[in-house]
Homo-oligomer: A and B are copies of this chain.
Amino acid sequence: MSPRKSAADAAATRARILDRTLALAVVHGLEGVTIGLLAEDLGMSKAGVVGPFGTKEELHLAVLDEAAERFRAEVLAPLAGARPGTGRLVRAHDAWFAYMASDRHAGCFLAAVAAEFDARPGPVRDRVREAFARWDAFVLAELRAALDAAELPPDTDLDQLRFELRGITLAADQGVQLWHDPETPARAGRAVRRLLTPRRLP
């Protein structure tokens, strides 16, 4: 407990811990962010770091939620008013690619944790799956709207398209994170357009 602090102070401390955990996890992986490393980084005691969350795993889950929320706020929220369909889906991907290339890596973080925990059943893997499943649901809804609006050929395999869009985002993630290729966002944007823009036959 923190008897000297108000509820607002406690929430601010929690937010600081989540922010640094996210930043360190991008480098070291979620499992690599030890309580000790985090305590030193924050200039706090280990007990102070774990306290607000209970256990390291609860902290992990809170960081995943924080990353998902940042991603939603930065990539999806600005498009809330636009009309569903290929146009908004292309812009959503462009926003993601720009977000990747910035120094804020919530999306890359989720992809990295997906790879880190894909063979380890448990609440962390479940939470990452849920984050990806929410994105998939968004993509499929946009594709269905596009199909209804005849922006895509009527026989389009939407699941196939969703799979290929996922591929482009993962390749973009690798292009940014592993290769530091500055052309990645543009290349990924072109790939999305190749997939979603109907081929006009001459």
* Chain A interface size, under 10 / 10 to 19 / 20 to 34 / 35 or more: 35 or more
Per-residue B-contact encoding for A125-152, CB less than 8 Å = 1, 0 else: 1001100100000000000000000000
Segment of A38-46, A60-68, A165-173 in the binding face = A165-173
Identify whether the interface residues of A are mostly helix, strand, loop, or mixed.
helix
In the complex, A7 has a CB within 8 A of chain B = no
Nearest CB on B from A81, distance (A): 29
Tell me the complex Cα distance, A111–B190, Å: 24
- Chain B residue at minimum C-beta to C-beta distance from A27: B119
Per-residue B-contact encoding for A181-202, CB less than 8 Å = 1, 0 else: 0000001101100100001011
Tell me the complex Cα distance, A120–B25, Å: 11
Given A129-B178, A166-B174, A167-B191: 17 more A-B contacts, CB < 8 Å: A29-B31, A29-B116, A31-B31, A114-B178, A115-B174, A118-B177, A118-B178, A159-B187, A163-B175, A163-B187, A164-B191, A167-B167, A167-B168, A167-B169, A167-B172, A170-B171, A201-B201
21 A-B contacts (beta carbon < 8 Å): A28-B120, A29-B31, A29-B116, A111-B115, A114-B174, A115-B115, A115-B116, A115-B174, A115-B177, A118-B177, A125-B178, A129-B178, A160-B190, A163-B191, A164-B171, A166-B174, A167-B167, A167-B169, A167-B170, A167-B171, A170-B170
